[in-house]
């Protein structure tokens, strides 16, 4: 098997429930030791995809391969326990009547003393060796989560499937457990498909993000690329608040109060959306009705008045009603910036952070 052959590969997976297609022609592959996050809003088909790969549900069409070997198509089917796939779900119940050691050893076959060694190794690795003879109810939520991870990893699965595994933990614990989990999975060389509806979680965990919507994968790429070269308006909006300017194209250009924007490939008269994030808006004070001079990076400034300003913790969010069309645009500013309502100010947009898409209306 070549070094860079995918550990998990799914091809054209589709699942239909009573005539409704909830997973629609999904293909993915994950290299050994890599983490792919399937990211999308609730109901878009993430869990259904994972359930088919695990073998607890069966696809309507498509194939699943582990290490290049067919695990399931519409005729042939390896049972879930023989797929070398580990599972970790949000309601990862440990067996309450078994000790921590027995829980972790649950999926292990073969030699008792070897199993004990593996159990001790994993519990040590997650910092819970002193709890080896404890029972689940004696552990905190975060500790139980780490035991569940050790249990899933004990049989050395080739692939680990995780469905919103951290969403039951409180915020304070979550970051630490995410990072710990990730480094353990990397050490073990397991390939991971992690499902989440939280963009921050995907950005934090993923080597690659597969953005899913209405049963389809709309974009795949490294977190940096998905964030900075989104496929469409909804892909921008999934990661942050957005501002949208609408315009009409003439000669591959759109005129706006913030200057001209390129709209290559859009025919004359076509409508476009110019989409940008609040953190890419900069703000200047009004000097006797004038704003800053236009620059190639910032374009032309446009004037608005403060409608609302809120402190959000690490940044402030300011809303402006624009003079030219009364539209509201949002800007975020690091730290505390709370101008009075009604203050006139000039907004400029980072030109290189604007995305121009054909309008979807």
Interface residue list for ligand ADP (CB under 6 A) = 17, 22, 40, 42-48
As measured in angstroms, the least distance from the Cβ of 56 to Mg ion is 13
DSSP of 235-278, one letter per residue? Answer: HHHHHS--EEEEEEEETTEEEETTEEEE-TTPPTT-EEEEEE-G
As measured in angstroms, the least distance from the Cβ of 87 to Mg ion is 13
**Residue whose Cβ sits closest to Mg ion:** 47
Which is nearer to ligand ADP, 18 or 268 (by Cβ)? 18
Residue 243: name the closest of 308, 360, 331 by CA.
331
Q: Residue 189, Cβ neighbours under 10 Å: how many?
A: 12
Are the CB atoms for 139 and 130 separated by under 8 Å?
A: no
Which is nearer to ligand ADP, 19 or 313 (by Cβ)? 19
Instruction: Please give the structure tokens belonging to residue 104.
Output: 């972790």
Which is nearer to ligand ADP, 45 or 199 (by Cβ)? 45
As measured in angstroms, the least distance from the Cβ of 303 to ligand ADP is 43
Which is nearer to ligand ADP, 43 or 189 (by Cβ)? 43
As measured in angstroms, the least distance from the Cβ of 184 to ligand ADP is 25
As measured in angstroms, the least distance from the Cβ of 43 to ligand ADP is 5
Q: How many residues does the chain have?
A: 361
As measured in angstroms, the least distance from the Cβ of 60 to ligand ADP is 12
Which is nearer to ligand ADP, 92 or 355 (by Cβ)? 92
Are the CB atoms for 309 and 319 separated by under 8 Å?
A: yes
**Residue 25: phi, psi to the nearest 5?**
60, 50
Are the CB atoms for 194 and 182 separated by under 8 Å?
A: no
- Residue 22, binding choice from ligand ADP, Mg ion, none, Cβ under 5 to 8 Å by partner class: ligand ADP
Which is nearer to Mg ion, 51 or 303 (by Cβ)? 51
Residues that bind Mg ion (CB under 5 A): 47
Express the helix, strand and coil content of the chain in percent, nearest 5 each: 25, 35, 35
């Amino acid at each position: 098997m070549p070094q860079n052959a995918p550990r998990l590969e799914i091809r054209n997976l589709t699942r239909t429930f009573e005539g409704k297609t909830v997973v629609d022609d999904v293909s993915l592959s994950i290299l050994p030791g890599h983490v792919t996050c399937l990211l999308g809003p609730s109901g878009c088909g993430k869990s259904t995809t994972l359930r088919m790969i695990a073998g607890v549900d069966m696809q309507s069409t498509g194939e699943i391969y582990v290490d290049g070997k067919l695990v399931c198509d519409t005729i042939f089917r390896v049972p879930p326990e023989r797929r070398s796939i580990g599972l970790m779900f949000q309601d990862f119940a440990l067996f309450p009547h078994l000790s921590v050691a027995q829980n972790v050893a649950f999926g292990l076959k073969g030699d008792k003393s070897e199993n004990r060694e593996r159990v001790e190794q994993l519990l040590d690795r997650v910092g819970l060796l002193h709890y080896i003879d404890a029972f689940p109810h004696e552990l905190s939520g975060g500790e139980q989560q780490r035991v569940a991870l050790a249990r899933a990893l004990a049989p050395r699965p080739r692939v680990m499937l995780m469905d919103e595994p951290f969403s039951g933990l409180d915020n304070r614990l979550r970051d630490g457990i995410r990072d710990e989990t990730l480094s353990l999975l990397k050490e073990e060389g397991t390939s991971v498909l992690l499902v989440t509806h939280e963009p921050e979680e995907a950005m934090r965990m993923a080597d690659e993000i597969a953005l899913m919507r209405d049963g389809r994968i709309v974009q795949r790429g490294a977190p940096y690329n998905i964030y900075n070269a989104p496929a469409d308006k909804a892909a921008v909006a999934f990661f942050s608040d957005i501002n949208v300017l609408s315009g009409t194209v003439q000669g591959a250009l759109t005129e706006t109060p913030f200057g001209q924007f390129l709209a290559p490939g859009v025919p004359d008269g076509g409508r476009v959306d110019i989409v940008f994030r609040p953190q890419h808006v900069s703000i200047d004070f009004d000097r006797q009705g004038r704003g800053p001079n236009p620059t190639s990076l910032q374009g032309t400034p446009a004037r608005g008045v403060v409608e609302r300003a809120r402190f959000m913790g690490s940044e402030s969010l300011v809303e402006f009603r624009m003079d030219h069309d009364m539209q509201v645009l949002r800007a975020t500013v690091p730290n505390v910036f709370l101008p009075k309502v009604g203050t006139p100010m000039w907004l400029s947009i980072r030109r290189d952070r604007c995305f121009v898409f054909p309008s979807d209306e």
